[in-house]
Amino acid sequence: MPQSPLFLQRRSYRRRRIMDGLRMLPFLCAVLWLVVPAMWPNSAEAGASTTLSSALGYLFTVWVLAITASFALWRRLRPEDEAVQATDGPSA
């Protein structure tokens, strides 16, 4: 009986980890967005006040970084998809 290999191939392992990263990215962004209410102090006497513009800047920065990260991870997956399609031939 042939035994299956103990370890995965490097290409498929990396591909799965990138896909896991793409799946976890929305949850990471949600956690980063949940920080916004903690930016405002509980009382006006605390002295450390966060302006609305800085909070919106934080949200916009997290949003842009999420888009950039998802695009970068997607680009890392894409060349392998095209290579697989090229070897399989046209799907008609």
pLDDT at 46 over 60: no
Give the pLDDT confidence score for residue 52 in this predicted structure: 81
Q: What per-residue string of b and e applies to 30-60 under the rule 16 or more CB within 10 Å gives b?
A: eebeeeeeeeeeeeeeeeeeeeeeeeeebee
| pTM attached to this predicted model | 0.65
* Of the listed ranges 9-13, 47-51, 62-66, the one predicted with least confidence: 47-51
Q: What mean pLDDT value characterizes the chain?
A: 78
The tens digit of pLDDT for each residue in 53-78 reads 888 898 999 999 999 999 998 888 87
Give the pLDDT confidence score for residue 37 in this predicted structure: 79
What confidence category does residue 17 fall into, taking pLDDT thresholds of 50, 70 and 90?
confident
